[in-house]
Amino acid sequence: MSRPTIAEVSALVADLAALRQSRTSADHAALMERKADLLERITAHTPGDTDAAEVARLARERADSLKSDG
């Protein structure tokens, strides 16, 4: 897994803010998938950080539930 970059985190935060303005379920699901991927990559590069691992796990669960809802 590649190390996440500040640019990727910044882009995700900007997209989250934009989503608040005009939200569709497809946009939300895709963004939550990106969020989960990014958090999993962060966790992969911070072994032993149980808080990061838990946040990533919860984000993945949410992203997966949105996929199955759609």
Chain centre to alpha carbon of residue 58: 10
What is the pLDDT averaged over residues 60-69? Answer: 89
- Taking the C-alpha atoms of residue 66 and residue 61, their distance in angstroms, rounded to an integer, is 9
Convert the pLDDT of each residue in 1-49 to its tens digit: 888 899 999 998 888 888 877 766 678 888 999 999 999 999 999 999 9
Q: What is the pLDDT of residue 7?
A: 93
Question: Model pTM greater than 0.85?
Answer: no
At 70, the amino acid letter reads G
Q: What is the pLDDT of residue 16?
A: 85
Q: How far is CA 53 from CA 5, 19, 32, in A?
A: 18, 25, 16
